[in-house]
């Protein structure tokens, strides 16, 4: 049975402004110095020998996504979304295409913006997940928490033997006290947003648990794989009408919280969800003063500690500063205290408002 990575690359990553922008989201940037996030997401799957990879992204990112695929050893295709309607729609879109292209297949659903340090351990866990998926389980990868994080959802597992544990429930982002309790309990794992299942199994669950979504995609199920992939004007109109009618629902809420035969495989493989400038510190090695940058030749640091600097083109010098993030990209420069990383969205909102009034 073919293994097909399905990479969800639809987000604009506004919390990583100004590097991540509408015209060039974070998945197309080299934040680690090891290649773009999308390139790394595809390349690290080589040991599984996938038949191809499938990227679900906005139509405006189709060309950039194809360029990233060409950097890897895995062939791929792009499914362009007419509108962002959350992860359930993206997964169903991909599953509908794959059901037409293959008899059945194993889908490995991954966000495009994760960093994974220990690639061999990651592949080992995915190999176990593929075996579980072949038994018609819906598999999710849980991250063994290393601290009480309040910014992630959690998965509670039922104690059992073996690497794959039955899922008790998915839980929302907790308070700090609740997160501390989860750590002590030991049966709670960060929800990585990585899933593995048979195409046939996830389609059956959509039919049962999200019948409105499933019914909306009926016109695509009547098409060939080539037509589903196409951006031909007639096909695009059909796809646009489908997406316009969809409610925005996550795959977690729409399927995984309600489905049967769910298992979680806990793992510790140096995972980082690169959702804020603070999180980038997890993937860059610090110097002796805990300063970090993927472009050190363009950065000068004098009497500065625990600073992170990202330069797209210009030389940046920091003198006598600590706990600061500096980002230069395009026409914009961000200077931010590290403890304020979640407020970058406020800046983006102000920029959008200013641009719309011009």
**Average pLDDT score over residue span 293-299:** 87
According to the model, what pLDDT value does residue 12 have? 63
pLDDT band with cut points at 50, 70 and 90 for residue 34 = confident
- The pTM of the full predicted model, rounded to 2 decimals, is 0.89
Find all residues with CB under 8 Å of 345, minimum gap 6, and list them: 14, 15
The structural domain count of the chain equals 2
In a shared domain, residues 234 and 293: no
Using the 3D structure, point to which of 218, 242, 275 is the last residue of a domain.
275
Using the 3D structure, point to which of 220, 254, 275 is the last residue of a domain.
275
User: For the chain, first and last CA: distance in Å?
Assistant: 54
**Average pLDDT score over residue span 256-277:** 89
**Average pLDDT score over residue span 188-198:** 95
In a shared domain, residues 115 and 144: yes
In a shared domain, residues 248 and 127: yes
In a shared domain, residues 237 and 212: yes
In a shared domain, residues 110 and 174: yes
In a shared domain, residues 187 and 336: no
In a shared domain, residues 57 and 173: yes
pLDDT of 147 higher than 90: no
In a shared domain, residues 179 and 314: no
How do 324-329 and 308-311 pair as beta strands?
parallel
According to the model, what pLDDT value does residue 13 have? 64
In a shared domain, residues 30 and 76: yes
In a shared domain, residues 94 and 152: yes
According to the model, what pLDDT value does residue 262 have? 95
Q: What is the largest CA-CA distance in the chain?
A: 65
pLDDT band with cut points at 50, 70 and 90 for residue 341 = confident
In a shared domain, residues 299 and 267: no
pLDDT in tens, 214-256: 999 999 999 999 999 999 999 999 999 999 999 999 999 999 9
The count of other CB atoms within 10 Å of the CB of residue 8 is 23
Per DSSP, the three-state class of 300 is strand
According to the model, what pLDDT value does residue 89 have? 97
CATH number, position 271? 3.90.550.10
pLDDT in tens, 154-165: 999 998 888 999
Q: Which domain holds residue 99?
A: 2-275
Using the 3D structure, point to which of 241, 275, 309 is the last residue of a domain.
275
In a shared domain, residues 91 and 25: yes
pLDDT band with cut points at 50, 70 and 90 for residue 83 = very high
Percentage of the chain exceeding pLDDT 70? 99
Q: Is the peptide bond before 18 cis (omega within 30 degrees of 0)?
A: yes
Token pair 């690290």 is found at: 44
**Average pLDDT score over residue span 7-24:** 79
């Amino acid at each position: 049975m073919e293994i097909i990575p399905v990479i969800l690359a639809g987000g604009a990553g506004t919390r990583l402004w100004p590097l991540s922008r509408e015209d060039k989201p974070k998945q197309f940037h080299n934040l680690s110095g090891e290649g773009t996030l999308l390139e790394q997401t595809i390349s690290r799957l080589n040991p599984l020998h996938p038949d191809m990879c499938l990227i679900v992204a906005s139509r405006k990112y189709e060309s950039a996504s194809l360029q990233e695929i060409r950097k890897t050893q895995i062939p791929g295709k792009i499914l362009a979304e007419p509108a962002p309607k959350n992860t359930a729609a993206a997964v169903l879109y991909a599953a509908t295409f794959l059901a037409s292209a293959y008899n059945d297949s194993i889908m490995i659903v991954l966000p495009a913006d994760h960093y994974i340090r220990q690639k061999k351990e990651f592949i080992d866990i995915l190999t176990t997940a593929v075996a579980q998926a072949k038994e018609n389980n819906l598999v999710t990868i849980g991250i063994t928490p290393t601290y009480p994080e309040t910014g992630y959802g959690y998965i509670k597992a039922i104690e059992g033997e073996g690497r794959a544990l039955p899922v008790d429930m998915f839980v929302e982002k907790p308070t700090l006290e609740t997160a501390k309790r989860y750590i002590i309990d030991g049966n709670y794992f960060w929800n990585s947003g990585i899933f593995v299942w048979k195409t046939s199994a996830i389609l059956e669950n959509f039919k049962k648990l999200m019948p409105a979504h499933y019914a909306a995609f009926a016109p695509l199920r009547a098409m060939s794989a080539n037509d589903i992939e196409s951006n031909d004007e007639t096909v695009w109109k059909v796809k646009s009408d489908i997406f316009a009618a969809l409610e925005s629902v996550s795959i977690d809420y729409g399927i995984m919280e309600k489905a049967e035969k769910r298992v979680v495989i806990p793992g510790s493989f140096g995972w980082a969800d690169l959702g804020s400038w603070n999180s980038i510190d997890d993937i860059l090695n610090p110097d002796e003063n805990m300063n970090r940058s993927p472009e050190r030749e363009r950065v000068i640091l004098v009497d500065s500690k625990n600073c992170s600097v990202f330069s797209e083109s210009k030389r940046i010098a920091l003198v006598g500063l600590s706990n600061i993030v500096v980002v230069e990209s395009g026409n914009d420069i961000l200077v931010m205290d590290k403890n304020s990383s979640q407020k970058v969205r406020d800046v983006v909102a102000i920029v959008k408002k200013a641009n719309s009034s011009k």
